[in-house]
């Protein structure tokens, strides 16, 4: 069998190890059906030296959870893998770029529609009030620019702003992203489109639990497989992939309509997204086939000319 590496969390870090191990077992099973042996290894074990990854046909960072808790280390690891010329899917440069939500601003500059977004290291009441006035929103979302799984994400109403001190607040998490809260997340849900090798595999609608705004399942979010994504969601996802312009093995594009029906990009998840293989009609077979094609293509390029 062809051996590939799947990057996993730091074994010394706090977290739900049972959950990622279950995700690993699922990935190993679907890849095994394509003759691929997926070997787990912590991403933190290869931060400064890539030699331990050279024996693998490729590296899949799909379970490198909690990289956002040590972002400097993550960026250093990505540089190490890039300099070593490893076959990392998705590419190491993309992994570094996608780990900071400032990438959304770059995509917006390339014509991708995103919510009104402000990045800052010091949050002030006046600044938040200005975003409310500029967008006509009633609530705001404030979250770290380097984050994951709704970590340290806050939802602020006008009443919350009224109780704030007018003095600037230095953010402990570094730079933060301020966006208007979109009520359509509750009324319409967030739509995730899953692409393998640039081809749509499946689409999932996600809605938060009653009274919440977070769509992740560990916060009570509810997931529903869609027969087909809305046309506007698909168009935005394709525009996003074109703007990224990288050889992506996998991508999860999360989009939401605003109150006028205009679709907006919330996230382009290119590092360790949940691929929702449990409700994928093909149960991950499309992903496994995409990995096999990449490996076959790499082997073909490495073969000597005849």
The Cα–Cα gap between 272 and 32 comes to: 20
Q: Domain total for the chain?
A: 3
36 and 152 inside one domain: no
pLDDT in tens, 123-133: 888 889 999 99
Please tell me the predicted confidence (pLDDT) of residue 167.
65
First to last CA, the chain: 26
Residue 136 in domain: yes
211 and 107 inside one domain: yes
The Cα–Cα gap between 243 and 233 comes to: 15
153 and 8 inside one domain: no
pLDDT at 171 over 90: no
Tokens of 275: 């691929």
Tell me which residue of 214, 187, 195, 177 sits closest to 275, measured CA to CA. 195
Per-residue confidence at 169, pLDDT binned at 50, 70, 90? low
192 and 241 inside one domain: yes
Residue 221 in domain: yes
95 and 173 inside one domain: no
pLDDT at 302 over 60: no
Query: Locate tokens 């059906």: which residue?
Result: 33
Tell me whether strands 59-60 and 2-8 are parallel, antiparallel or unpaired.
parallel
**Average pLDDT value for residue range 73-100:** 97
Per the structure, the complete domain to which residue 191 belongs is given by 103-112+184-270
Whether residue 142 has a cis bond before it, omega within 30° of 0: no
Please tell me the predicted confidence (pLDDT) of residue 306.
36
The Cα–Cα gap between 7 and 59 comes to: 7
Give the Å distances, CA to CA, from 8 to 40, 63, 85, 94: 6, 5, 20, 18
16 and 152 inside one domain: no
Tokens of 268: 């382009």
Please tell me the predicted confidence (pLDDT) of residue 222.
87
Residue 26 in domain: yes
pLDDT at 218 over 80: no
Mean pLDDT for the chain?
91
pLDDT in tens, 51-81: 999 999 999 999 999 899 999 999 999 999 9
**Average pLDDT value for residue range 71-92:** 97
Please tell me the predicted confidence (pLDDT) of residue 301.
62
136 and 91 inside one domain: no
Please tell me the predicted confidence (pLDDT) of residue 13.
75
Residue 27 in domain: yes
Per-residue confidence at 166, pLDDT binned at 50, 70, 90? confident
pLDDT in tens, 3-61: 999 999 998 876 667 888 999 999 999 999 999 999 999 999 999 999 999 999 999 99
Q: What is the pTM of this model?
A: 0.93
Please tell me the predicted confidence (pLDDT) of residue 172.
64
**Average pLDDT value for residue range 242-249:** 96
The Cα–Cα gap between 25 and 37 comes to: 11
**Average pLDDT value for residue range 218-224:** 80
pLDDT at 248 over 70: yes
107 and 211 inside one domain: yes
201 and 258 inside one domain: yes
261 and 294 inside one domain: no
Please tell me the predicted confidence (pLDDT) of residue 260.
94
The Cα–Cα gap between 255 and 257 comes to: 7
Please tell me the predicted confidence (pLDDT) of residue 168.
58
**Average pLDDT value for residue range 251-265:** 97
pLDDT in tens, 178-211: 999 999 999 999 999 999 999 999 999 999 888 7
**Average pLDDT value for residue range 245-269:** 96
- CATH, residue 92: 3.40.50.20
Residue 236 in domain: yes
Please tell me the predicted confidence (pLDDT) of residue 304.
47
Q: Is the dihedral of CA 84, 90, 91, 95 positive or negative?
A: negative
From 152, 180, 208, give the residue that closes a domain: 180
Residue 16 in domain: yes
Residue 167 or 292, more confident: 292
pLDDT at 173 over 70: no
Please tell me the predicted confidence (pLDDT) of residue 162.
78
């Amino acid at each position: 069998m062809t051996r590939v590496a799947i990057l996993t969390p730091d074994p010394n870090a706090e977290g739900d190890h049972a959950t990622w191990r279950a995700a690993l077992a699922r990935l190993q099973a679907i890849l095994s059906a394509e003759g691929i042996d997926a070997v787990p290894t912590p991403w933190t074990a290869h931060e400064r030296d890539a030699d331990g990854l050279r024996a693998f046909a490729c590296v899949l960072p799909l379970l490198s959870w909690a990289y956002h808790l040590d972002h400097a280390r993550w960026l250093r690891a990505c540089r190490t893998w890039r300099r070593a010329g490893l076959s990392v899917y998705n590419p190491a440069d993309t992994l570094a770029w996608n780990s900071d939500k400032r990438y959304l601003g770059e995509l917006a500059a390339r014509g991708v529609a995103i919510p009104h977004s402000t990045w800052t290291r010091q949050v002030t009441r006046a600044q938040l009030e200005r975003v409310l006035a500029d967008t006509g929103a009633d609530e705001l979302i404030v979250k770290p620019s380097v984050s994951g799984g709704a970590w340290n994400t806050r939802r602020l109403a006008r009443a919350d702003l009224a109780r704030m001190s007018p003095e600037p607040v230095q953010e402990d998490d570094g730079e933060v992203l301020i966006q208007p809260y979109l009520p359509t997340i509750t009324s319409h849900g967030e739509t995730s489109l899953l692409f393998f090798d640039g081809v749509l595999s499946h689409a999932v609608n996600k809605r938060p639990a009653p009274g919440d705004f977070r769509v992740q399942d560990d916060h009570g979010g509810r997931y529903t497989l869609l027969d087909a994504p809305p046309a506007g969601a698909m168009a935005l996802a394709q525009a996003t992939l074109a703007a990224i312009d990288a050889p992506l093995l996998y991508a999860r594009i999360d989009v939401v309509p605003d109150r006028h029906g205009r679709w907006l990009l919330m996230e382009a998840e290119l590092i360790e997204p949940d691929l929702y293989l449990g409700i994928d009609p093909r149960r991950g077979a499309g992903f496994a086939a995409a990995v096999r094609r990449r490996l076959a293509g790499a082997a073909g390029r490495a073969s000597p000319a005849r």
